[in-house]
Structure formats: C-alpha cells, structure tokens
A = this chain, B = another copy of it.
C-alpha cells in the first residue's frame, strides 16, 4: 500500500480510502477478500488507528467493503447491486440526473489551487481579500446587524434590500425601476440558472457571445439549450449577425455581457448597442444583460447599461455584489417585468426557499452606507494599479510571445499567443511552474488564448507570476 502524503492538502484517511478503492477496482483486492486489520494497516502506514477506521468507514459508505465487529473488514462481494443484501449503488445514482459535471479544465484549476497554496492565481475571477470591503463589512456586522427578523422571507428577497438595489440602479446605472421588479438572487449564477431553467425549455436556441464566460457554465448545456455564437471583435458583438442567425434558428433569448466583457474586456460600441436593442425588439427576442463589471470602470465613468436605454422592456438586467464587493456574500439581483420576477421567485422557492436574510441585511446597509462610494473608488484605483503591474510585466517578459488589448475596466486581461500551443499542456506546465490561468477554450475560443485575472493576485505576486507563465510558455512553445 502507498504511504499517505502528509504534505498534501487531502486528509490522510481520504488518501488511504482512495488508494484501497483503486486497488479494489483493479482487482488487487478481489470481492470477498479480507482487508488488513485496522491496527495492522495503521502500523504499516504509520498513522493513527482512528485514521484507518475513518478510511474503512468511507469505503463502507460507498458500499465497497463490509465489516462486522470481531470478523474484520472485507471487500463487498456483491458490489454493484446483484445479490439480495447490499448498499445502494451510489455510483449509479451519481451518474444519474441531467447535470453535467463542471469543465475538466476548471476542475483541474480548482484542484491545483486547493492542493498548492503557493500557486500564483491568475485564474479565479474574483476579488482578493484586500479589494473586498472587509473592514466596512465587519463594522456593519457589529452595528447594523441587530435584527428581529429570522423567518422565511418574501420570495422576491428582503424588502429593504430590494429598495436599496432599486435606488442603487437608479443612481449608478440610470435604470428606472422599483422594488417590485427586483428579484434578489444568490449571485448572478442563480439569476442565470433561474432564467435558463424556468423561462427556457430543452431544445431552445439561445445566442451568446463568442468567446463568452457562458461556455464555462455547463448550466447552458445541462438545461439542454442549443448555443448559437455571436463573435466578439474589439467593439463587442455584431448585432447584424443576430438577424442572420434568426433566419435559420428560432432564437429564444440573447445573453450578453456588454461592459468589460468576460473574458475579452471589450465594451460594446454605442451604435451597436442601439442596433442590438432595435434588432432584438424587431425579432421579439428578450435580452439578458449581465453587468457585473461596469462599476469597476477605471476612469470612474461606467459605460451605460443596455437596460437604461431599453424603451420596449426587452431586457432582463442582472447584477451582483460579487465583482464590486465580495463574491462570498452571494448577493445578486435581477430586474425584469413583474410577471417574470414573480414566476422566478415562485420557482426558486422549490430550490432553496430564497437566500439567507443575514447577507441581505448587510448588503442593504452597505449600499446605503457613506462607505460605499469610497470603497468603489478605492477598488477602481487598486484594480487599475494591478492591471498596470500585469501589463508592465507582460510587456517586459512576454512581449514576443503574446499580444493583448489593455482593458479599461473589469478584472481580466485576454491574451493571444503568437505561436501554437496546446491548451492542456500549457496549463499543466504553468501549474508545474507555480502559476495558474484559464485557457481560452474554456470560454469557447479556439486554442491559443489565455484569460489572466489580476483581481485575485496579490500585487507582489504579479511580476513573479508572469515569470512563471513565461517559463511555462517557453517550455511548451519551445
């Protein structure tokens, strides 16, 4: 048996259980065979007996082994549900349902980050702790947290937060709305989930930008949607393509991210915005506008939202706290016609009975607080500083190997390699060198693109991180 690795992030008992599971699967321990006693295995692997007990418990829960006190532990001889007494075949259940597993590259990145805390992170699309309003929130928790309210909430979300969000949208996004058209969600992810699950049906065609973070969300495929592509150039998507696509496909919805688009960082051109709205209206296609980044605009003048110039009620608007305050709060919002909000709120009751009231209370207070605008200004300043550090390091260390456009807002920088490289190979080599990024193919682009996020990376890590990427690139492209 393999000695467990104490420096790995994985608990020892899990390592032992996984090792035994592999050996059972490959026939080293055949069905019915006795496993070493707990004491013996503990001695052999130099771990506590309780660790082995947990490992065997894990295998028992999987139905792979059985134990009886005094008789020891043996490999289950009726592993996959043939004979009359056995555990459920959990593996079969796990393969059921219609949820696709998350993308291999994203799982690999998550696993690498979990296994090695020293890895320099250009992958996670979120703010570092030093960009989050931690002090402000902790202060709010002390002062504003007092509440008498601990029950199930209004299905649309906590009333005072819906009012705060409506006021925020009027002030910062020029969106004229009221609390009755606002649905509070567990972040943009839940907004998109509700829309794809409740307003669309399997087989429906929807159009999304190419590249688009939507490709990184298996939820679109899980919902059985057919994805049509709207190529993005340096001015964003080209609205006329929607009309062409519409000739062949009955497009049921458009998903767009017009401001500091993820992953390319582009801003949709003003004339294209009007064209987009006109065409959508003409073809009666609703637009879902995801707008997480606009307030990170480095010059403090956010581009207008589509929703603010939507005269015909074509746009469902999605926003959240994740990219401007803290993703861990899980507070997002959606603005839609009341009939839509009402339907989605009702369906959400079946999923989770609505988000926790505590972060909603804090978010409501924070949006109203005099600390909110200073926080935004500091956030913009520090993001700009990190962007500049990244751009400078890339220009110095990688100018010959890749090219990019400098973004004016958002958290991401989109790079194109000047030479061919295999996405998977490059990612593995980068992890080996100690840095991680997201391959462009995750967003539906062809291979040879990288998304580098600078919001999560510590300032002092940006230059050494780029050095590690450069080493990886040179090894792979050679």
Among A291-299, A329-337, A402-410, A425-433, the one that faces the other chain is: A329-337
Would you call A371 an interface residue if the criterion is a C-beta within 8 Å of the partner chain's C-beta atoms? no
Q: Which residue of B lies closest to A312 (CB)?
A: B87
List, in ascending order, chain B residues with CB within 8 A of A271's CB. Answer: none
Complex: A276 Cα to B107 Cα, angstroms: 38
Q: Which residue of B lies closest to A17 (CB)?
A: B338
Q: B62 touching A329 by the CB < 8 A rule? A: no
List, in ascending order, chain B residues with CB within 8 A of A180's CB. Answer: 11, 14, 58
Chain A 168-184 interface residues, beta-carbon cutoff 8 Å to B: 176-178, 180-181
Complex: A197 Cα to B347 Cα, angstroms: 14
Complex: A128 Cα to B151 Cα, angstroms: 7
Known: A151-B327, A201-B97. A352 touches B102 (CB 8 A): no
Q: A346 touching B102 by the CB < 8 A rule? A: yes
List, in ascending order, chain B residues with CB within 8 A of A385's CB. Answer: none
Q: A328 touching B357 by the CB < 8 A rule? A: yes
Would you call A147 an interface residue if the criterion is a C-beta within 8 Å of the partner chain's C-beta atoms? yes
Would you call A372 an interface residue if the criterion is a C-beta within 8 Å of the partner chain's C-beta atoms? no
Interchain nearest-CB distance for A88 vs B (Å): 4
Number of A residues contacting the other chain (C-beta, 8 Å)? 108
Q: A61 touching B96 by the CB < 8 A rule? A: no
Chain A 38-63 interface residues, beta-carbon cutoff 8 Å to B: 54, 57-58, 60-63
List, in ascending order, chain B residues with CB within 8 A of A147's CB. Answer: 134, 138
Complex: A145 Cα to B143 Cα, angstroms: 11
Q: Which residue of B lies closest to A155 (CB)?
A: B110
Interchain nearest-CB distance for A391 vs B (Å): 24
Q: How many copies altogether?
A: 2
Best-surrounded residue of A89, A145, A284 (most CB of chain B within 10 A) = A284
- Mask for A446-466, Cβ within 8 A of B = 1, else 0? 000000000010000000000
Would you call A416 an interface residue if the criterion is a C-beta within 8 Å of the partner chain's C-beta atoms? no
List, in ascending order, chain B residues with CB within 8 A of A4's CB. Answer: none
Q: A355 touching B337 by the CB < 8 A rule? A: no
Interchain nearest-CB distance for A12 vs B (Å): 11
Among A185-193, A227-235, A262-270, A375-383, the one that faces the other chain is: A185-193
Chain A 340-377 interface residues, beta-carbon cutoff 8 Å to B: 340, 343, 346-347, 349-359, 362
B54, B86, B185, B284: which contacts A281 (Cβ < 8 A)?
Answer: B86
Would you call A248 an interface residue if the criterion is a C-beta within 8 Å of the partner chain's C-beta atoms? no
List, in ascending order, chain B residues with CB within 8 A of A201's CB. Answer: 96-98
Would you call A222 an interface residue if the criterion is a C-beta within 8 Å of the partner chain's C-beta atoms? yes
Would you call A393 an interface residue if the criterion is a C-beta within 8 Å of the partner chain's C-beta atoms? no
- Mask for A192-206, Cβ within 8 A of B = 1, else 0? 010001111100100
Would you call A142 an interface residue if the criterion is a C-beta within 8 Å of the partner chain's C-beta atoms? yes
Interchain nearest-CB distance for A13 vs B (Å): 7
Q: A313 touching B141 by the CB < 8 A rule? A: no
Known contacts A102-B346, A331-B356; 11 additional CB pairs below 8 A are A66-B312, A88-B285, A129-B150, A138-B145, A149-B328, A185-B352, A186-B356, A189-B349, A193-B352, A329-B358, A351-B351
Which 10 pairs from chain A and chain B are nearest by CB?
A150-B326, A141-B145, A186-B352, A88-B286, A99-B347, A132-B150, A97-B198, A61-B313, A328-B357, A330-B356
